[in-house]
Amino acid sequence: MENADTIAAVATPPGRGGIGVVRVSGKGIKSLALKVIGYVPEPRYASLSKFFDEDGQVIDQGIVLFFPAPHSYTGEDVLELQGHGGPAVMNLLLSSCLSAGARMAQPGEFTLRAYLNNKLDLAQAESVADIIDASTSEAARCAVRSLQGEFSDAVHIAVQALTDLRISVEASLDFSEEEIDHAHHADVSHRLKGIQAHLEHVLASARQGSILREGIWIVLIGQPNVGKSSLLNLLAGEEAAIVTEIPGTTRDTIRRTIEIEGVPLHLLDTAGLRETDDAVEKMGIARTRSTLEKANFVLLVMDSRWGVTPADQVILDSLPAGLPVIYVYNKIDLLDERSLARVGKGGSEIYVSAITGAGIETLRQRLLKMAGWQPRSMGEGVFMARQRHLQALTAAREYLENAAELDRGAFQPELLAEELRLAQQALSAITGEFGADDLLGEIFSRFCIGK
């Protein structure tokens, strides 16, 4: 793809830093370089240069890198100007590039051009944003594997196998049902089962990657003064919430993201759910109920000395239908020896002390289990997946299941071929071989400018 526009943007985060980078891409790089630095730099060679504004005044001095097409990130001529990372300097340097013929890049436009120029497929392009947004080291490693093409390769294997199977099935359309021998039918069945098994493996890995990318939203609820804030502080490893013995201290939702075995867990401490006349506390309770709508599951925190009280039951009855609940009995450090001996083991009940830390490791492992995380060595074989990837994989699985049903009955190559075509189309949407332009706009509009 050739694009007439030359685009430019600051590629480093806003604010002050030791180094700031302005990235430029397009056909007009050489003429732009003559105006901004006074010469066309040698390809792929770092050189020290002065940067000039449109009046020929020196803005800054830094490193210049030139990557000629097609051997660049975007597949076009790319120029990177690395100067001192002050906001004023970066703005001046960007303005100089715009005056020299470039326009401001749109969010994700550099990566979009890389995709359109076949430098990346769509799944790899999305992984660029996932690397930037990764909230844990494990998520970052997983995103890098997707950028390197591991996810795309797994999808391509399934697409190629489907293509080969479709050729075989559609070739049989020229023959009557009586002329199709049992060996051919058995071969189709065998190959279809192999594709289904491969797709199940890919889907399982993608679901794990989705957990790494999105994290799990966990809401702490319970009556006031049962230790929700203390529990949050202990899990977060910092004093994220104020802890007092006064009921109703937490008036607003407090969010902290923690990492357990590389999985990001978003913990939300909420205002205690109870009847109150305090206007501010009422607002906090209203926000608590709103927060519950997006939770993956909740921790109902209770005082272990009293167990599930009528007030706790009211809270349980008010939860959205089907929302999973872990019962957390706090303050076991206050139990006497007889009561402590009756503390349950396993099930959906966890007994902890937010003061001593007892039971916290059990709680952490239960959170991972509830999230659906299957521990693997350094996330081996896990693909960074988005919701659209999971939807495409699930749709492909359903089409293959329909194909398998047809295959188990009388051999109907027309219907079987159509289900295989739909499965292939669903998988091709993951890498962008099949898809709509509005999908591209939605994906790349979420990228940061400069990437």
User: Across residues 56-60, what is the average pLDDT?
Assistant: 94
**Are 90 and 80 a contacting pair, CB within 8 Å?**
no
- pLDDT value of residue 342: 60
Spatial CA neighbour of 195 closest among 169, 168, 162: 162
Which pLDDT band holds residue 93 (cuts at 50, 70, 90)?
Answer: very high
Question: How many Å apart are CA 206 and CA 390, to the nearest integer?
Answer: 7
Alpha-carbon gap, residue 22 to 349, rounded angstroms: 54
Q: Flag the least confident range among 241-245, 266-270, 381-385.
A: 241-245
Maximum pairwise Cα distance, the chain: 85
pLDDT at 374: 78
Question: Do residues 23 and 121 make contact, with C-beta atoms less than 8 angstroms apart?
Answer: no
pTM (2 decimals)? Answer: 0.76
In the predicted structure, residue 247 carries a pLDDT above the cut 50:
no
Q: Work out the pLDDT band at 231, boundaries 50, 70, 90.
A: confident
Phi and psi angles of residue 8, each rounded to the nearest 5 degrees, phi first: -145, 150
Counting other chains too, the contacts that 312-317 makes at CB distance below 8 Å and 24 or more residues apart are 312/222, 312/223, 315/221, 315/222, 315/223, 315/273
User: Of residues 304 and 445, which shows the higher confidence score?
Assistant: 304
Q: What angle do CA 146, 149, 151 make, to 5 degrees?
A: 60
H or E stretch covering 442:
helix 437-444
Range of lowest pLDDT (5-14, 16-25, 127-136, 234-243): 234-243
What does the alpha-carbon distance between residue 125 and residue 430 come to, in Å, rounded to a whole number?
11
325-330 and 349-351 as β-strands: parallel, antiparallel, unpaired?
Answer: parallel
Per-residue pLDDT band for 249 (boundaries 50, 70, 90) equals: very low
pLDDT reported for residue 248: 42
43 prior amide bond cis, ω within 30: no
- For residue 161, with 0-12 CB atoms within 10 Å meaning exposed, 13-18 middle and 19 or more buried, which class applies? middle
Q: What is the pLDDT of residue 70?
A: 93
What tokens were used for 292? 């519950």
- Which of 169-183, 197-211, 269-283 bottoms out in mean pLDDT, i.e. has the lowest? 269-283
Rg of the Cα trace of the chain? 29
* pLDDT exceeds 50 at position 240: no
Position with higher pLDDT, 339 vs 180: 339
Measure Cα distances from 53 to 47, 96, 98 in Å.
19, 5, 10
The answer, yes or no, to whether residue 20 has pLDDT greater than 50, is: yes
Whether residue 378 has pLDDT greater than 50: no
Mean pLDDT lowest among 47-56, 332-341, 362-371? 332-341
Give the least confident one: 68-77, 142-151, 394-403: 142-151
pLDDT at 424: 92
Instruction: Report which of residues 286 and 66 the model is more confident about.
Output: 66
State residue 410's pLDDT score.
Answer: 67
Q: Say yes or no to pLDDT of 125 above 60.
A: yes
Distance CA 57, CA 37 (A): 11
* Region 271-279 average pLDDT: 53
Q: What is the pLDDT of residue 370?
A: 83
Instruction: Summarize the confidence of residues 368-374 as an average pLDDT.
Output: 82
pLDDT in the model for residue 389: 93
pLDDT in tens, 179-194: 555 556 778 888 999 9
For 27, phi then psi, to 5°, come to -75, -20
What's the pLDDT tens digit per position in 381-411?
688 888 899 999 999 999 999 988 887 776 6
Per-residue confidence (pLDDT) for residue 134, from 0 to 100: 85
**Using CA of residue 97, residue 101, residue 104, residue 110, what is the dihedral sign?**
negative
274 burial via Cβ count (<10 Å: 0-12, 13-18, 19+): middle
- The percentage of the chain sitting over the pLDDT mark of 70, rounded to a whole number, equals 81
**Spatial separation of the C-alpha atoms in residues 104 and 147, rounded to whole Å:** 26
For residues 106 and 444, give the distance between their C-alpha atoms in angstroms, rounded to a whole number. 9
Round to whole Å and give the CA distance between 122 and 107: 16
What is the band of 241 on the pLDDT scale with cuts at 50, 70, 90? very low
Is the model more confident about 384 or about 37?
A: 37
Q: Residue 138's pLDDT is what?
A: 84
| Confidence band of 169 (pLDDT split at 50, 70, 90) | confident
Statement: residue 330 has pLDDT above 70: yes
Choice between 341 and 373, residue whose per-residue pLDDT is larger: 373
Return the amino acid letter for 250: T
Across 35-39, 52-56, 216-220, 282-286, least confident range: 282-286
Give the domains, in start order, of the chain with CATH numbers. 7-120 (3.30.1360.120), 125-212+386-432 (1.20.120.430), 215-377 (3.40.50.300)
Q: How many CA atoms lie within 13 A of 2 on its CB side?
A: 3
Secondary structure of residue 136 in the 3-state scheme = coil
